[in-house]
Amino acid sequence: MNKWWQILWGSREEEELSKKVARNTDGSPDPDELTIENAYKTRWIWYHTILGLLMFFANITLMAIFLLLAIKL
């Protein structure tokens, strides 16, 4: 029986992909099944993760500068 979120947002492609993943017992990806779209998604995730980390450290640096200026003035 489908859950409510599968009825609203589920897709046939997603179900087929989850079945393929369930059949893969050793957990390693099959190089024959890797596509350009999967490579693009992986690169997109890494790119935005790195950008997020850089933004976090930039905000920490800006807060430190702000606190130094607030204390000295």
Cβ contacts of 15 within 8 Å, gap of 6 or more? none
Q: What's the confidence (pLDDT) of residue 26?
A: 63
Q: What's the confidence (pLDDT) of residue 17?
A: 72
Q: Is the pTM of this model over 0.95?
A: no
Phi-psi domain of 3 (left: phi exceeds 0; alpha: psi -120 through 50; beta: other): beta
Q: What's the confidence (pLDDT) of residue 24?
A: 64
Average pLDDT for runs of 10 along the chain of length 73: 65 72 63 70 88 98 96 87
